Chains A and B, each alone.
Chain A
Amino acid sequence: MTPAPDVPAAPDGPSVSDGPSIPDGPSIPGAPAGFWRALVREPRRLVAILLWSVLEAAPAFLVGHAVARAIEDGFARARPLTGLAWLAALGLAWLVSAVGARQVVLAVAAVAEPFRDDLLTRVVQGALRRPLAERPDSAATARAGLQVELARDAFAAVVTTVRGFAFTLVSVVLGLLTLAPGTLVLVLPPFAAGLAFFLASLPALARRQRAFLLADEELARSMTATATGLRDIEACGLADREDERLARQVGAQRDAARALARVTSVRTAALAVGGWLPVVLLLAGTPWLLDGGAGPGVIVGALAYVTQSLAPALGGLVQGLGVSGVRLVATLRRIAAAAPPPPPAPPRVRPAGADVALRSVTFSYGPHSAPVLDRLDLAVPEGEHLAVVGPSGAGKSTLAALLSGILPPGEGEVLIGGVPAGRADPAARVLIPQEAYVFRGTLRDNLAYLVPGSGGLDGSVAALGAGELVESLGGYDATLDPAALSAGQRQLIALVRAHLTEAPLVILDEATCHLDPAAEALAENAFAARGGTLIVVAHRLTSALRARRVLLMDGPRITIGTHDELIRVSPLYADLAGHWQPEPVS
């Protein structure tokens, strides 16, 4: 017997991955459930897998009989043609089996592909529906998509090997039973012992594998951080600290790999016991079998069952469960942690008005962090044009997010027309953030994003002075490549999109920062002329000059008033007003 060459080294696959930086969550019951659901979702596929498996397992049943009969009835009795006929039958069975194996792969694929689709859908939906404050960076989420591929391959491998093992085992047992039932006593107990030994080692193996993957990822992250930060490490004299950190993590990865190797050797031992011991016992029992009436051919046939069918099947199972199975569980857990089921959406209510009220609103990004907003009270009447100004980091964007309901306040409440902002119908307000969202699709789809099927685009395009842009892009039906657009072009598209809606409350969060001052003025005036409540988080002070009232944020303190009032009462505002003028050149 030649056991399948073990995948070299402990990691069981390529090492030092750049896997997702999403920490493993606690065990999530949804993961194994997904496995079974995918398997039984289409019973037709499952039946196909089982039927083709019968064909695939044909030689596993036939091999002992064919060898025994070829010797006993053929070659040993000088009837070579009979012997050759049996062997020809065996060769034919192998060919049939190959066809069966091919069909099994395709049938398993037909289950694995929808499984992948499900996981990917879950990752995408989870990423898009996750509350803003809890999101990992977008690159990490995109990498989680790669985990889906690992899961698909592992899923297919587990289904294939476990199924193959079961069918081979049944075939061999049937074969031995019909060939010489006495052999079962010699073959099955040591085989079962090897199998039990392996299964018992599986949890430890899974633990070690997981520990290794974590250490490996941690190390990969560290090495990447070091490589990208070499200039800074050198310039800031951090080399010793980094050296120490890397040495610690290289050591941890090595220890994890060594521990894994130790458990893997148990796996190999189990495989050897299950595969070799039956051979020795069969030999030892030969005199007894001969006494029972078995011929030499029967002994060779029984040996063929063990070495040709049983041992390779056990090897496949060890590889399938010990490597792919462990990997499948690990990746499914990761995916479940990266994409938890989204929280249920609250019922949406259409507010009666477009006035905004903040009542004692406190917000901070973590339980131990200083609040961004501290017991803030604010009333914005319907039809108001309010500018929000302040130094960077003062919480202007946080305020915009609270006003539009995409961040829930820590304490207090944010009301739009009397309705909590988080429960207000999205159609009641529109938020245009600084990072304008443009997707791959036609310009028309992009513009009409908030009011699908909207016909009259021209009015809003003209109002915002976007006619030239529309023309240069090739009209409404041109397909956009977001990366090819400038930041200003993207902002203009987002502004037209907002202008098209009938939302009575518009929040522009530095939405015009990449436009030139003239285009910014045109855009803000267009929104002011549109009616409704307008809240502008200002990038330039000119936005404040256009507003009716100005809200000045500086840390948790706020001051509100007209431009002239603020110049008088707030030194910071006066400072801002003084320094936002273009610098003199001569």
Chain B
Amino acid sequence: MGPGDRLVADAVRRCGPWPAVLAVTAVAGAAGELAVPFLVGRTLDLLLARSSGAATALVLCAGVVAVVVLCESLGGWARGASSAYAAARLRLGVLRHVLGVGRAATRRFPEGDLVTRAGLNAEEAGRAPETVTGALALLVPTAGALVALTLIHPLLTLTLGAGIVLIVFVLRAFLRATTVISGGYQEVQGEIAARLVDALDGARTIAAAGTAGQEARRVLAPLPRLRAHGMALWRANAAAGVRSGLMIPLLEVAVLAAGGLMLAAGRLTVGDLYAAARYAALGAALSTSLGYIGGLARARAAAARVADVLALPPVSYGTRPLPSGPGTVEFRDVAANGLTVGDLTIPGGTVTAVVGRSGSGKSLLAALAGRLTDPERGDVLLDGVPLRELTRDGLRSAIGYAFERPVLVGDTVGEAIGAVPGSQAGREAAVAARADGFVRRLPAGYDTPLAETPMSGGERQRLGLARAFARGDRVLVLDDATSSLDTVTEREVSRALTGDPRGRTRLITAHRLATAARADQVVWLDEGRVRAAGPHDALWRDPAYRAVFQEGPP
């Protein structure tokens, strides 16, 4: 039993009475379904013979039919409910775990993959109980039908077997296997979508030129090819439909013929013949119902994929509260992932710029400063406490981060800033980040849904900055967080930052000369180590330091 199976078993145990209902209805329903043809045949014989036991048989028959109906209906309900509960439980477990693991989760699994595992795979794994009972509910009657058929007369089972071989053989000769043609269809679909996206990106040009009609025709030009591929797909479907649709009726006819001959010879009753025909139909569906075993395999595979995510180690936090202090960040003999920081102190309340060519480790240093990454060696301390000993809340409320490409989360723009809606702190942070102006021009200001707010890179950065300003009580880490702002806006943000009334420690990675020039201290990274740290004016004398600023975007 793998971790995936244990996971499913656990989820099933915790979803209330539904799995039990599911099991009972599946077993009872399967037994009932198997009994019905026999009972109907028997009742028919008694009725035809005008026997006195017919009434009892009829009542029994109706009773079993009622059980089958009840089981089917209740079972359907239980199927839906148990998978809904199991899937929700699995899914929430995965999501919570991912939140605990943090960004390390996306290093192991790409984002889309994570969503698939938490979404589709959790759903599939949640269907495990339903799949097991579903397979049972189908396999028991079909396998049982073959036994029943043999009991009525072994010759009938032989007829069924021979019929299956013959029909498969004949159908295969008539219907060639269809090749995979859906690829062509999807290709044309993709082409139309790409043309549409192109045209939508040129929306202003098209609107100004008044060429929407012409563009629509151009986007839809591949439509005839789409239709050709579509019809080919339909033809393949139709052929497959013939194959599957003929099998059972023809087998039933074959068994009726064999049974009819035995009826003529007096070896079967009319009721037996009816039951035989029904059992033949049930038994012939065996190959179809075997497909349901595949469903169980799918559920197990999905559970294993869910378990993979749960196997990621979550970030562990300490229990120490943060003592009062100015927000001094100390690196002690720190090394991580190819960057050797060694000993470095960022005094509380100062502005430190981190410079260096791309790839020199600026972002990694920024990540280490606020424990987005743990060092392989050494410790990072905030006001004397190692970061890993701090509680999660203590750590995160003390240090605010802003990134080059911030991802905004939340339902509204105000929520994305991370402040209480309408709060003064949030507004102030937005003003400092020069985001207030454009946010107030949105259709509903701070309450505008994030999904309906198309933003430029610069606007997104400003909201990311506002979010950092609103949160970090002691330290602000700005990782290339003003790169998309125009010069004037960048200057305004820098001014707000340098003149931070709360005197927070600021660690800023940047390409721009002005950022370094305004900082109290510059940390110069080169080839994975700290090449120098000190005031900009002192470093400026080194031509190699000056060369750092000649690289990068204009």
Annotate B446-464 by CB proximity to A: 1 below 8 A, 0 otherwise: 0010011010101100001
Q: Is B28 an interface residue (CB 8 A)?
A: no
Q: How far is B81's CA from A260's CA once the two chains are assembled, in angstroms?
A: 9
Q: Is B198 an interface residue (CB 8 A)?
A: yes
Are A132 and B198 closer than 8 Å at their CB atoms?
Answer: no
Of the 9-residue stretches B5-13, B94-102, B154-162, B322-330, which lies at the interface with chain A?
B94-102
Q: Is A71 an interface residue (CB 8 A)?
A: yes
Are A223 and B120 closer than 8 Å at their CB atoms?
Answer: no
B240-265 residues with Cβ-Cβ distance < 8 A to A are 241-242, 245-246, 249-250, 252-254, 256-257, 260-261, 263-264
Are A268 and B242 closer than 8 Å at their CB atoms?
Answer: no
Are B202 and A435 closer than 8 Å at their CB atoms?
Answer: yes
| Interface residue from A74, A101, A230, A426 paired with B209 (Cβ < 8 Å) | A426
Q: Which residues of A contact B468 (CB under 8 A)?
A: 236
Q: How far is B261's CA from A426's CA once the two chains are assembled, in angstroms?
A: 84
Are A109 and B47 closer than 8 Å at their CB atoms?
Answer: no
Are A21 and B47 closer than 8 Å at their CB atoms?
Answer: no
| Interface residue from A97, A268, A367 paired with B76 (Cβ < 8 Å) | A268
**Quick one: closest B residue to A430, CB to CB?**
B208
B406-436 residues with Cβ-Cβ distance < 8 A to A are 406-410, 418
Are A585 and B99 closer than 8 Å at their CB atoms?
Answer: no
Q: Which residues of B contact A50 (CB under 8 A)?
A: none
Q: Which residues of B contact A462 (CB under 8 A)?
A: none
Q: How far is B204's CA from A120's CA once the two chains are assembled, in angstroms?
A: 22
Q: Is A75 an interface residue (CB 8 A)?
A: yes
Q: How far is B238's CA from A110's CA once the two chains are assembled, in angstroms?
A: 13
Q: How far is B249's CA from A308's CA once the two chains are assembled, in angstroms?
A: 9
Contacts known (A231-B407, A435-B202); A9 close to B249, Cβ less than 8 A: no
Q: Which residues of A contact B209 (CB under 8 A)?
A: 426, 430, 449-450
Q: Which residues of B contact A125 (CB under 8 A)?
A: 212-213, 216
**Quick one: closest A residue to B477, CB to CB?**
A235
Q: Is A44 an interface residue (CB 8 A)?
A: no
Q: Which residues of B contact A437 (CB under 8 A)?
A: 198-199, 201-202, 204-206
Q: How far is B115's CA from A371's CA once the two chains are assembled, in angstroms?
A: 39
Q: Is A35 an interface residue (CB 8 A)?
A: no
Annotate B270-290 by CB proximity to A: 1 below 8 A, 0 otherwise: 100110011001100100000
Are B58 and A283 closer than 8 Å at their CB atoms?
Answer: yes
Q: Is B151 an interface residue (CB 8 A)?
A: no
Q: Is A369 an interface residue (CB 8 A)?
A: yes
Of the 9-residue stretches B229-237, B340-348, B375-383, B501-509, which lies at the interface with chain A?
B229-237
Are A265 and B76 closer than 8 Å at their CB atoms?
Answer: yes
Closest chain-A Cβ to B232's Cβ sits at a distance in Å of 10
Q: How far is B106's CA from A231's CA once the two chains are assembled, in angstroms?
A: 9
Q: Is B520 an interface residue (CB 8 A)?
A: no
Are B73 and A585 closer than 8 Å at their CB atoms?
Answer: no
Are A129 and B212 closer than 8 Å at their CB atoms?
Answer: yes
Q: How far is B208's CA from A9's CA once the two chains are assembled, in angstroms?
A: 50
Closest chain-B Cβ to A434's Cβ sits at a distance in Å of 9
Of A8, A405, A449, A586, most buried by chain B (CB within 10 Å of CB) is A8
Are A261 and B84 closer than 8 Å at their CB atoms?
Answer: yes
Of A15, A342, A494, most buried by chain B (CB within 10 Å of CB) is A15
Of B43, B106, B119, B512, most buried by chain A (CB within 10 Å of CB) is B119
A38-91 residues with Cβ-Cβ distance < 8 A to B are 59, 67, 70-71, 74-76, 78-80, 83-84, 87, 90-91
Q: How far is B475's CA from A240's CA once the two chains are assembled, in angstroms?
A: 21
Are B444 and A366 closer than 8 Å at their CB atoms?
Answer: yes
Of A124, A261, A366, A431, most buried by chain B (CB within 10 Å of CB) is A124
Are B98 and A226 closer than 8 Å at their CB atoms?
Answer: yes
Are B210 and A426 closer than 8 Å at their CB atoms?
Answer: yes
- The count of chain A contact residues (Cβ–Cβ below 8 Å) is 170
Are A393 and B79 closer than 8 Å at their CB atoms?
Answer: no
**Quick one: closest A residue to B452, CB to CB?**
A136
Q: Which residues of B contact A79 (CB under 8 A)?
A: 264
Q: Is B385 an interface residue (CB 8 A)?
A: no
Q: How far is B210's CA from A348's CA once the two chains are assembled, in angstroms?
A: 10
Q: Is A559 an interface residue (CB 8 A)?
A: no
Closest chain-B Cβ to A98's Cβ sits at a distance in Å of 5
Q: Is A368 an interface residue (CB 8 A)?
A: yes
Q: Which residues of B contact A251 (CB under 8 A)?
A: 88
| Interface residue from B95, B219, B253 paired with A223 (Cβ < 8 Å) | B95
Q: Is A296 an interface residue (CB 8 A)?
A: yes
Q: Which residues of A contact B372 (CB under 8 A)?
A: 231, 234-235
**Quick one: closest B residue to A517, CB to CB?**
B554
**Quick one: closest A residue to B467, CB to CB?**
A236
Q: Is B114 an interface residue (CB 8 A)?
A: yes
Of the 9-residue stretches A181-189, A271-279, A467-475, A528-536, which lies at the interface with chain B?
A271-279
Of the 9-residue stretches B354-362, B390-398, B522-530, B531-539, which lies at the interface with chain A?
B390-398
Q: Which residues of A contact B263 (CB under 8 A)?
A: 71, 75-76
Q: Which residues of B contact A429 (CB under 8 A)?
A: 208
Contacts known (A8-B130, A234-B372, A251-B88); A303 close to B242, Cβ less than 8 A: no
Q: Is B387 an interface residue (CB 8 A)?
A: no
Q: Is B401 an interface residue (CB 8 A)?
A: yes
Are A391 and B489 closer than 8 Å at their CB atoms?
Answer: yes
**Quick one: closest B residue to A16, CB to CB?**
B119
Contacts known (A220-B119, A236-B418, A368-B445); A226 close to B409, Cβ less than 8 A: yes
Contacts known (A236-B467, A296-B48, A369-B444); A227 close to B486, Cβ less than 8 A: no
Q: Is B111 an interface residue (CB 8 A)?
A: yes
Are A113 and B208 closer than 8 Å at their CB atoms?
Answer: no
Q: How far is B223's CA from A152's CA once the two chains are assembled, in angstroms?
A: 14
Q: How far is B41's CA from A299's CA once the two chains are assembled, in angstroms?
A: 11
Q: Which residues of A contact B196 (CB under 8 A)?
A: 124, 127, 138, 141-142, 145
Of the 9-residue stretches A168-176, A241-249, A349-357, A377-385, which lies at the interface with chain B?
A241-249
Are A372 and B208 closer than 8 Å at their CB atoms?
Answer: no
Are A132 and B203 closer than 8 Å at their CB atoms?
Answer: yes
Q: How far is B433's CA from A124's CA once the two chains are assembled, in angstroms?
A: 39
Q: Is A105 an interface residue (CB 8 A)?
A: yes
Q: What 12 additional pairs, Cβ within 8 angstroms, besides A235-B370, A237-B471? A: A8-B79, A10-B83, A16-B120, A80-B260, A91-B249, A105-B238, A142-B196, A142-B197, A228-B111, A257-B83, A391-B488, A579-B487
CB-defined A-B contacts under 8 Å, sample of 25: A2-B285, A11-B123, A15-B87, A101-B241, A101-B242, A109-B230, A152-B230, A231-B102, A232-B401, A232-B406, A234-B103, A265-B80, A266-B73, A269-B69, A286-B48, A297-B270, A303-B40, A366-B448, A369-B442, A369-B443, A369-B444, A370-B441, A391-B489, A406-B204, A426-B211
